[in-house]
Every structure is written in structure tokens, then in C-alpha cells.
Amino acid sequence: MSAALEIRPLTATLGAEVVGVDLADVDGSTLDAIRQAWLDHKVLVLRDQHITREEHIAFGRRFGDLEIHPFATGTLGDSGHDEIVQITSKPERLVAANTWHSDVTWREEPSMGSILRGVVIPPAGGDTCFADTAAAYERLPDDWKDRVDDKVAVHDFVKTFGRGVPPEKMEEMRATYPPARHPVIRTHPDTGARGIYTNRQFTSHVEGVDDEESEVIINRLERAILDPSVQCRVRWQVDTFVMWDNRAVQHFATDDFWPETRTVERVTVVGDRPY
């Protein structure tokens, strides 16, 4: 690990602040250290990173290809930064991802990770909470592990991005992004850890069981994610960057800052098919 890089854990198992790095100038050994810290802590917080959008995109690309979000393009107008999704909440329209989820699980190959920047931060509120999906799974009783270990769930963009879409447009979207099937408990490809991979925002149902049992399973796994003992919470500042591993955590953005404005900008690293 780079001698200049300091890792300050937020909890014993989840989250860490990284000190002593400039995201505009990351050499190979520092990148390796960040990559390992990301695997170890799942959520990394890097503060006072005064970099450009181009540098934000370039840093994200150090970890893989970047996603162009099909339902959130053009959020920066004609800036040419299609890799960046800007999320703004204003007094007249409160926007927050205030449901526990992992990003774009409705894709056949959901994201590996997200790198989010604080742009306009309210004086109070607007934190992001994270939950360790492997720790949540490990805390399940053995009978519940047996109940869900071999199950598959269907993930669908319609639950979040389909509201108000005209039928002809929905047909086109469906053809391009059909529902995806993922294991209820996925295996992390780098660490081997197994973690909960259902969420209220995108999971439509669990296959092979009736509707009532599907709802029982989704609710029980959501309660496991809600345990504060598997969570950490990040307070934002302008030019704070937070990186999270979508294969290992879920997140929840609080909506407790109205009527203030909150703007964040995200790049998302493309992942692979869950197993």
C-alpha cells in the first residue's frame, strides 16, 4: 500500500475514509491500494477532491468501462459528459434514492461500482447510508439461509423508471431491457463473499414460489439490510467522493433536507453477470 495513503475505517467491517490521495493524479501503486481498500471496506470516502468532470470520468475508467445510463442521459445538457448522471433535488421537487437498493440490478450485467461526487450539499441532512449485504446475509438464521440460498429473483426497471411512460415507448424499452434474472444471494467475484441481492426498488418477484411467499422473502431480506449493525452513514461535503461496491452493498439516500437543494454527480463502472 502507498505510504501516503491512510485508511480510516468507519466501522469494523464497512466503510473507510481514505486520506492522502489526489484523484487527479493516481499512480499505479496508489490505484492498487485504492482497489484493495475498496474490496476490504466496500465503501470509500475521499474528501476535498477538487477535480474536473473529465478527471472524475477518467478516474472511474481506471476500474473499467463506464455505463451510459439509458434512462438518465442528458442530465448535464449538452456538456458531452454522458458518463455522468447528475441527480438534483430542489424545493419544488424532492429527489432522493430513499429505498435500499444496488444500482441498475435490472441489467443483465449490473454495475460493479459507483463513484459519486457531492456538488451542492445542504447544510444539514442528505446523508447516504450503506448496508453490507454479506454481513446481513450472515446474520440470517440458518433456516432462512436454506430457504433463500438457491432462489432466483427477477429484476425490472419498470418499478422505478416505468412510471408515466407511454405504451409504445414502454414496448421499445422492454425490448431493449427485458427483466433480468439474478440469484437472491449472489457471490462476490473477487472476495467470494455471499450477500443479499434483492431490493425493493427493482426486484419484482422471486421465481418458483407463489406471490405470498415471494413477498415474504423480499420483506425478510429487506429487514436484514435494515439492521443498523450492518450499516454505515456518510455525511456529505462539497467535493466529497464516495465509492461503493454494488456487488457488496446497498445504499439509501436520505430525504431529510427539504427545502434545501442537493446535487450529486455519479459515474458507474460496468460489472458482470451475478452468480
Query: What is the set of active-site residues?
Result: 101, 103, 251, 266
Q: CA 57, CA 266: separation in Å to the nearest integer? A: 9
Which three cell numbers, joined as nine digits, stand for 43?
A: 465503501
Q: CA 17, CA 13: separation in Å to the nearest integer? A: 13
Nearest in space to 186 (alpha carbons), one of 275, 101, 270, 255: 275
Amino acid identity of residue 138, one-letter, is E
Q: Report DSSP state, residue 230.
A: G
The residue with cell 472511474 is: 60
CB distance 15 to 135 below 8 Å: no
CB distance 270 to 121 below 8 Å: no
Which three cell numbers, joined as nine digits, stand for 223?
A: 429487514
Q: Report DSSP state, residue 202.
A: T
Residue 23: exposure state from Cβ atoms within 10 A (0-12, 13-18, ≥19): buried
Q: CA 127, CA 140: separation in Å to the nearest integer? A: 27
Residues ≥6 apart with Cβ < 8 Å to 271: 64, 109, 110, 111, 112, 113, 246, 247
CB distance 248 to 193 below 8 Å: yes
Which three cell numbers, joined as nine digits, stand for 150?
A: 438457491
Gyration radius of the chain's alpha carbons: 18
